[in-house]
Amino acid sequence: MQLPHQALLACSVRDCGADLERVQRLWRCSAGHCFDVARSGYVNLLQPQDRRSLDAGDSRRTVEARRALLDAGFGAALRQCVQTLASTVALEHGAAVVDFGCGDGHFLDAVCTALGCAGVGLDLSPHAIESAAKRHAHGIWVVANADRRLPLRTGVFGLALSIDGRRPGAEAARVLSERGTWLIAIPADDDLCELRETVLGESRPRAGIERVEAELRGLFQLHEKRTARATLRLDRNDLERLALATYRCARRAEREKLESLTHLDVTTSHDVLLFRRMPGA
């Protein structure tokens, strides 16, 4: 991941939106609004009206569970697929990548490293953003609500990522350049099928490709689609982490079933989609 060639952030104070400039331990706009850089290097650009609760986003335990799963190789197939597909995108010189729900920066760092470019990671969870800032010093890590106006400059990003994350269509079209692309990964039909069958007894269909296409109609057009799939044997500890990481097994009966397992082969499966911004969108 590289340092950016140009200003990428915009002031989040209501009706301001001026470019933010990094001045030592502050991000500052031309109107004089200032945001402190935290000790670990991230910045919190949430405004009071964008905050749903004081402790919004993933908890520290959830962030740690996700990290442990990634370290155990869960997510390697998705990372490889995202990296390969992102490498087919021809970024204009100096263009940057933005991730709308970056967690601890795992996928954004993989993509920026592959493309040799700068990246901005947004997440609602201060725990996730702090972890990202500690792991990847060159990235710009921002606590922000991806469901509101994004604290990003218009038209300066060549590629956006949503890996199991938010899909703010109109805002993505605004911050991407004219020829920008958006890489979206969503759970495929067989994602976590063993866990769902064994523990949860659910077989409801997931948000499919057609739904994403319908959501983005008029703004983005599907250009390419791949599948990332792998099956891993998870032990009891990793199964508990998976439940935590995916907000599952909250009911008592589900927890008891989960705790009765010594291990389970679990399939992780994603549709990885590359959308192109439509001209004039």
For binding to Zn ion (CB under 5 A), which residues are involved?
11, 13, 16, 18, 29, 31, 33
Contact 182, 111 (CB under 8 A): no
Which strands, in side-by-side order, build the sheet including 176-187? Answer: 43-44, 140-143, 119-123, 96-100, 157-163, 176-187, 263-277, 220-235
Q: Select 33 or 135, whichever has its Cβ closest to Zn ion.
A: 33
* Nearest residue to the partner Zn ion, using Cβ: 11
Provide the residue type at 116 as one letter.
Answer: G
Q: How far is the CB of 9 from Zn ion (least distance, A)?
A: 11
Q: How far is the CB of 149 from Zn ion (least distance, A)?
A: 13
Helix (H) or strand (E) holding 161: strand 157-163
The Cβ of residue 279 has, within 10 Å, a number of other Cβ atoms equal to 8
Q: Select 13 or 219, whichever has its Cβ closest to Zn ion.
A: 13
Spatial separation of the C-alpha atoms in residues 7 and 20, rounded to whole Å? 7
Q: Select 33 or 236, whichever has its Cβ closest to Zn ion.
A: 33
**Angle formed by the axes of helices 236-245 and 252-259, nearest 10°:** 150
Q: Select 18 or 230, whichever has its Cβ closest to Zn ion.
A: 18
Q: Select 67 or 153, whichever has its Cβ closest to Zn ion.
A: 153
User: Rounded to the nearest 5°, which phi and psi values hold at 101?
Assistant: 130, 60
Q: How far is the CB of 100 from Zn ion (least distance, A)?
A: 22
Q: How far is the CB of 37 from Zn ion (least distance, A)?
A: 16
Burial of 183 (0-12, 13-18, 19+ CB in 10 A): buried
Q: Is 129 strand, coil or helix?
A: helix
Q: How far is the CB of 47 from Zn ion (least distance, A)?
A: 11
